[in-house]
Chain A
Amino acid sequence: MKTSAVSMNEKIRVQGLDLYYGENQALYEIDLSVPEGSITAFIGPSGCGKSTLLRTLNRMNDLIPSVKITGSVLVDGENIYGAETDVVHLRKNVGMVFQRPNPFPMSIYDNIAYGPRIHGIRRKKDLDVIVERSLKQAALWDEAKDRLNKSALGLSGGQQQRLCIARLLAVEPKVLLMDEPTSALDPISTLKVEELTQELKEKYTIIIVTHNMQQAARISDTTAFFLNGVMVEHGETDKLFTNPSDKRTEDYITGRFG
């Protein structure tokens, strides 16, 4: 399922990142490099900072007023915290899938067409092409093609999550951030989303936060382990799960932690 070929082009670089919620420091001097066309998993106990770090990668933390960030996050070599960054453009390039599927209360077709329409695509013919392509990429086309004009809310949870992924793909992002994308899904839907990540990583760079260590082991090329706001270890997934370098990683993944 997993291919080991990882391109050497760096897609994302996090440098000396500190993050504070008001007085409380949540991330400490994070340095992280993410190669293009790979899947990176963030693991660690609740409150370790993994979701917080994920949200810094497309500035979702901007929405929380008390957050203060120092250090830098480069996407394709450009600091996304620079003054000239267009946040809307950034979030088109670096899209996010959330824990619970959140389709808009409209048809399947309109869910997918929503983003492209905002970005100025109006012609029905063009939108048709985008809708079909996105649904195919998200492995939802066969299940959805006969009900494109029905409400997206009629889909199952697993289908809704793949719809949300299709909705992201419609605006042709470069990076997909996934925040526990399968935690609300049943095992079969989970496997479908996992399988999908393997297909998507050829064209996209994926970072996934997961509480499921077996999931991280199954799908990611590299894994980063976080504890109390510190990135303890980041390395090849097969190495990290068979022979981690740091005792704290060992204790966490063998259940001897805490």
Chain B
Amino acid sequence: MDNRKGFHQSLDELQRDLLKMGVMVEEAIFLAVKSLANLDVSIAQDVIAGDDKINDMMVEIESSSLRLLALQQPMASDLRVIGTAMKIVTDLERIGDHAVDIAKTTKRLQGSKLLKPLVDTPRMAEMTKEMLRDALNSYVKKDLEIAQSLAVKDDEVDSLYKQIFLELQELMESSPANVQQATLLLMVCRNLERIADHATNIGEWVIYMISGERQELNH
């Protein structure tokens, strides 16, 4: 029998809100990269405008967490759930900011033509988005294995990042005219690589939430 039903319902709500925010952020990554691949400024504009909602969500989750800490004095796994929520929102918010940065790149490329069709960058975006989804899934399902699998995926993202980096470098070496766009695309890949890192951070907190142990996922 649960003697703290009301409190545990609030905890469930907190977790639902966090998941909702996660879905919003995932959508932002998807749209940002889509706007870039299609050089579609109106989509980019939606991503930039949508970031306010993500930030509001963060403030709301932080406030609920602090309120629960103050009013309920949670212990053990309850305490870890709340502490984890407060850490994860920060990572989600940063991911949202990276999506905005990518959308802004789309705006800066407005009117120009892509040097070549983007293939690897959307692939990298897909991988980071998947990592974020895994991180959120591991949170919802309290699944250690999914959380731990993020380490491998982060390595894959890192190696793809290196590959794209070299390609863009070659592109720049071949013609100075390419430098401006290649630099911007490089920054996009850097944004994606950082998103993957934030996903591993989330995974690390999920591992703590489940087991109470700290484990490094980003080597």
Contacts and interface: CB of A to CB of B under 8 A. Distances in A.
Contacts of B3: 255-258
Interface stretch (B47-55, B76-84, B152-160, B164-172): B76-84
A4 interface: no
A241 B75 contact: yes
A249 B77 CA distance: 11
A250 B2 contact: no
Nearest to B75: A253
B180 interface: no
Contacts of B4: 254-256
Interface of A: 213-214, 217, 241-244, 249-250, 253-258
Nearest to A242: B79
A131 to B, nearest CB: 39
A250 B211 CA distance: 12
B76 to A, nearest CB: 5
Contact of A241 (B1, B8, B79): B79
A243 B75 contact: no
Q: Size class of B's contact patch?
A: 10 to 19
B2 A255 contact: yes
A34 to B, nearest CB: 23
B81 to A, nearest CB: 10
B7 A244 contact: no
Contact of B2 (A217, A244, A256): A256
B122 interface: no
A243 B76 contact: yes
Interface in B55-82: 73-80
Interface in B67-126: 73-80
A68 B212 CA distance: 41
Given A213-B75, A253-B76, A254-B74, A242 B7 contact: no
B180 to A, nearest CB: 51
A26 B70 CA distance: 36
14 contacts: A217-B75, A241-B79, A242-B79, A243-B80, A243-B211, A243-B212, A250-B76, A250-B77, A254-B74, A254-B77, A254-B78, A256-B1, A256-B3, A256-B8
